[in-house]
Structure 1
Amino acid sequence: ARLGDGDAAVRRLACAALGQVAGRGTESAVAALLGRLEDKDGGVRRAALRALEKVAEKQDAKVMQAVFARCNDTEAFVRHSAAEVLSRLAEEGNTQVLSRMIELGEDRDARVRCAATEALGKLAGRGDSRVLSSLLDRLDDECDATRRAAATSLGQVTFAPLAELEVQERHIKDLQFRGQHEVSARDRTIAEMRIQHAQEVARLQFRVDELEERLRSESQSSSQRIEQLEQQVKEQEWVAGVSMVIPHAGREI
């Protein structure tokens, strides 16, 4: 109800309050604020724009269209707010918004030109010739703030991609280093496994040799024992034979 109050100051406060309490994407709040963009008071229109920035979803077509219309507002401070709100609701690379910002870069009001120039730096894609041309023109702007904004935006549009390329190059080198490290680690692991395998084979061979030696030793001992037993049997047989001969020899005598 306060949005339709007869006092413009109350309507401005109502717009600001709605922007604070309404959640993003609340349709009733968005609809109410869109209605205030046509308010006869420029302050209310600006307050509605600022509130929509907090309540509207990004790239909301209906909101974007309404904010676009405010870029032609008769009040420079409203056009300034419209440029800032557009830059925050639009996605990067939005060609329609970029074209509008290039146009606003020629606005008669320095605040509008500055806001539009800053928006170009935020939204422009890589190597956009139209944007680069506009920003280069703004380097000669009569407004110091606009010139600084142009220099900053040029850095974002040109040097930012270069910085990203440097990051990508570092990432590639890091992957190559990690790949080489992983290959070295793999080769080292294989070499260690081969050494362990050779050591295990050597231990097993030593054990086999040890068992064979024991078997040979036991076999020799068994052979010697058999020979001893055979010798003992022969000796016993000889003694037995002698014992049988001696008694007969006595009787013959």
Structure 2
Amino acid sequence: MAPVWLQALCGGIGTLCFALMLVPQVVLNTRRRSTEGLSWGLVVPWHVAGILFVGVTLAHTQPSWFSALSMFMQVFCCGICEVQMYFFHRVEKGCRRRLLMTAAYTVLTVLSCLACAACYLFFITTGDQLDFILGELVPSILIGLGFFPEFHEFVSSMSIEGYSFGVTFFDVVGSAGNTALYFMREEEPWSERVSEASPFLTIIFMHLILLILAAWVVCHASGKPLKAPSSAPTSEESEASTEVDTAQSTPTVEV
């Protein structure tokens, strides 16, 4: 069994990183007054996956409080991004928009808490097999699917503008801390540890693909050959040249 201080350290790092995970993206959105580069297909699946995972984690006989809190931080931050994505495109900036967004943050957070509580009440009545399918497998799939709109955004625009890689840093470090926390449970078989940590392992794997794709996009964009300046005269230059030639060819008459 790993020392308690080491478990607390890994869990604390994981929770802190998840709390900070979407902060760079939220700050970037706020500064640009835009959520360009961020997709509903990324944020909503992460939001739903976090709610399911929080519910099943708290329903375990030995709940991992750090992991549950980490995922709830993801749920909360996803709610902030969803509110920004909705209001930045529909309401003009000003006091009214700030009030509406604050109210929406509050309502969405309350609804997310109620959804987590409902999932917890559901999972305490289910068996291990259903817990694995709905609480671990489905969140892992949703998290993985959430990356594909971002992959498409990079490839279709051939640009990584609008995405904050601070999200990737905090997400990977936080997931590594939570994964280590599960792997320290020596009393559990390895298969159970891997299944419980599967959402965090999925996050690490998909971010690795995201970084590789981003590097390819940057290299491809920087490697595009520049167009050589055309040596053909423009229409204005041709007209000016014609006028000069006409003037030179016209004889002058002396009186």
Q: Structure 1-normalised TM-score?
A: 0.33
Structure with greater helix percent: 1
Larger CA Rg, structure 1 vs 2? 1
Q: Structure 2-normalised TM-score?
A: 0.33
Whose relative contact order is higher, 1 or 2, with alpha carbons under 8 Å and at least 6 apart? Answer: 2
